[in-house]
Structure 1
Amino acid sequence: MSTAPDLGPADYPLSVNRQDLLRTPTGKPITALTMDAVVSGEITAEDLRITPETLQLQATLAESVHRRQLAQNFRRAAELTAVPDAEVLAMYNALRPRASSKAKLLEIADNLESKYGATVCGALVREAAEVYERRDLLAREEG
């Protein structure tokens, strides 16, 4: 794996100022994304998805301007690119107040970490479980 480039405010937006760093999920350079390429079939729907590498670059840029929370959002998004859309939606619904027990949220965190290596996302779900418990936002036990 290559070292992350040193990025700063002058590199924003990457799509204009650092095209050399951006690739599609199939490995095409970002400059290959043209209407002609779409019409000819050279570009597929997969090429239009963002890559985890691009999201990590965006995180680096955000940190360069002291936007730590935004950088963390980009890091979580980068991790979630490996998670199937249906699972992301299920997690989103599980994280709604009173939708899940603490055990269920911890199971989601474990799954994120063990199956997808999504440690930043797993930590966020664990934090949510703790906060929900303190604020009485966990699912009510059926009895």
Structure 2
Amino acid sequence: MEKSIQERKLTKKDYPLGSKSPDLLYTPTQKSYNNLTLDAALNGEVTGADLRISPKTLEMHADISESLGRNQLSKNFRRAAEMINISDARILEIYNALRPNRSTKDELLAIADELENEYGATENAGLIREAADVYERRGRLKQIEE
């Protein structure tokens, strides 16, 4: 018996999801993609929160990208999916901490631990740890004054 589309990884033939598999798409507020209509918006049934992408949708796009051999794009979608539950303010703080010479290695590793332990963002945590190592090799870490 063939697996249902929800039980298997999506591929190129499932793209674009909005026209080929709209029944799989839900907002973070659990509204169906098919219910996001102009009439619903005019009637006040759609809010700004309903127009955000869900982690599951990003994961589906990651699967499709992976099936096409676009592994870097797939990783980007997976990291984006992990970031959905992190506040915009915290994301900006992390972004600023990643700028060259803004953070010590310990500060970056603490951010990685936070991402992994508080948000389950293992892909992002790995990226931060990799950045900390690269910054250390290239002399781009904040210098501690003694």
1:35 aligns with 2:38: yes
Structure 2's unaligned 5+ residue stretches are 1-5
Structure 2 length as normaliser, TM-score? 0.93
User: How many residues get paired?
Assistant: 142
**Corresponding residue for 2:131?**
128
8 Å Cα contact 1:4-1:57 kept in structure 2: no
**Corresponding residue for 1:86?**
89
* Deviation of the 1:48 alpha carbon: 0.6
* Deviation of the 1:110 alpha carbon: 0.3
Q: Equivalents in 2 of 1:136, 1:115: separation in Å? A: 29
Write the deviation string for residues 83-113 of structure 1: whole angstroms up to 9, x where unpaired. Answer: 1111111001111111111010000000001
Q: Equivalents in 1 of 2:55, 2:31: separation in Å? A: 15
Q: What secondary structure, in the 3-state scheme, does the structure 2 residue paired with 1:103 have?
A: helix
8 Å Cα contact 2:83-2:121 kept in structure 1: yes
Aligned runs of 1:10-89 on 2, under 5 Å?
A: 10-89=13-92
**Corresponding residue for 1:108?**
111
Structure 1's unaligned 5+ residue stretches are none
- Kindly report the root-mean-square deviation, in angstroms, between the aligned alpha carbons of the 2 structures: 1.4
**Corresponding residue for 1:7?**
10
8 Å Cα contact 2:109-2:132 kept in structure 1: yes
Structure 1 length as normaliser, TM-score? 0.95
